[in-house]
Amino acid sequence: DAKTTQPPSMDCAEGRAANLPCNHSTISGNEYVYWYRQIHSQGPQYIIHGLKNNETNEMASLIITEDRKSSTLILPHATLRDTAVYYCIVRVEDSNYQLIWGAGTKLIIKP
Amino acid sequence: SAVISQKPSRDICQRGTSLTIQCQVDSQVTMMFWYRQQPGQSLTLIATANQGSEATYESGFVIDKFPISRPNLTFSTLTVSNMSPEDSSIYLCSVERGQAFYGYTFGSGTRLTVV
């Protein structure tokens, strides 16, 4: 079973910030939180990852709560091309670094 | 990060036949991963392929059905054998992005339809 829970779908207006939540209440101290997205008919694309500090890159920001039981992916200025399924994943340390994929959040950016 | 070329990108196959999917990476990688994504579903790991050793299969997947080759550090194949319509899925290969803590890169996938 996936170790994360996400809302099944979200809408966001183009140009606004998209905030995607993820709960991972059973996360272990040495497990990282990864975010990927999958645009229709393409392979998943890495977005960002973090352990306990907030992270930012050219694509997004990742905010992890102090207790590490939840996180939020922020797309600061969403465009129509950001419409995709977004997956929040906790990396399993002891299984060849296997990723356990949940159902993800279908993010729809509306003009 | 690594760039993956996966082919074919799609195929329509008759039941009972087999299809071999190829995954070529532009750099040497230790582990390669094969996933299945059934229609409307999330990704499920089929197996992990290390060069020079037998692939490690996840629960529910067996070597006779999904034989994997890993002849060198840049190439792997996954065969879907004796196909049935239930095998209709997207099959994806994946490699580490550079270091194990930096996530994974995925190929564009092979969309398989079995009729």
Burial (Cβ within 10 Å: 0-12, 13-18, ≥19) of residue B22: middle
Mutation to test the B interface, candidates A6, A30, A41, A58, most B Cβ within 10 Å = A41
* C-alpha separations of A15 from A11, A77, A105, A110 in Å: 12, 5, 19, 9
Check pLDDT > 70 for residue A6. Answer: yes
Query: If pLDDT is split at 50, 70 and 90, which confidence band does A2 have?
Result: low
Nearest Cβ partner for B42 among A34, A43, A102: A102
A39-90 pLDDT, tens per residue? 987 899 999 999 888 999 999 999 999 999 999 999 999 999 999 999 999 8
| Residues ≥6 apart with Cβ < 8 Å to A64 | A33, A50, A51, A52, A53, A54, A70, A71
Contact residues, A window 19-38, toward B, CB-based 8 Å cutoff:
32, 34, 36
In sequence order, the 6+-apart residues with CB closer than 8 A to the CB of A67 are none
**Residue pLDDT, tens place only, B48-90:** 998 888 899 999 999 999 999 999 999 999 999 999 999 999 9
